[in-house]
Amino acid sequence: AERSALRRSDFGFVFQFGQLVPELTCVENVALPLRLNGSSRKDAERTALGWMERLEVHDLKAKRPGEVSGGQGQRVAVARALVTGPRLLFADEPTGALDSFNGERVMELLTEAARSTNAAVVLVTHETRVAAYSDREVVVRDGKSRDMERAV
């Protein structure tokens, strides 16, 4: 129970394909972590809408994931990951299923939102352009890792 509570409150997760619940609307998907933490529906959805607005998808609140584009769905997933104010955000290939334009926009919004909340981000990617958004890079190749610090 303690580990589940920690995952719900201190960690945020963004997956390559969003992993949104298809039966829920976009706002319900974003509000889900707050509801699981005991927030009322009204409070959870108000907070969720704030994050959806920041990530430029508030107009999709009543749509279901199957009714939105890949880039929009991924921004909804980022909003869901950030809605609880996590201290650590895990992003596994967050742009892997997107075209380059939507991928860039998702990374801009993700990094801006994470910085504004002081969340650390652990990003896994094979794409150099996505890795360029990080302050620090650890390259793993053939079972060996190499730490590459970037100037901020």
Helices (H) and strands (E) in the chain, counts: 6, 5
Asked if residue 17 has pLDDT above 80, the reply is no
Q: Give the domain extent around 42.
A: 2-149
d(CA 135, CA 50) in angstroms, rounded, equals 27
Residue 43 and residue 71 in contact, taking contact as beta carbons nearer than 8 Å: no
**Domain harbouring 26, CATH code:** 3.40.50.300
- Report the pLDDT value the prediction gives residue 149, as an integer from 0 to 100: 66
pTM of the model: 0.85
Q: Where are the alpha helices (DSSP H) in the chain?
A: 2-9, 26-36, 41-54, 70-82, 100-117, 128-131
Over range 68-82, report the average pLDDT. Answer: 92
pLDDT given for residue 91 in this prediction:
92
Give the total number of structural domains in the chain.
1
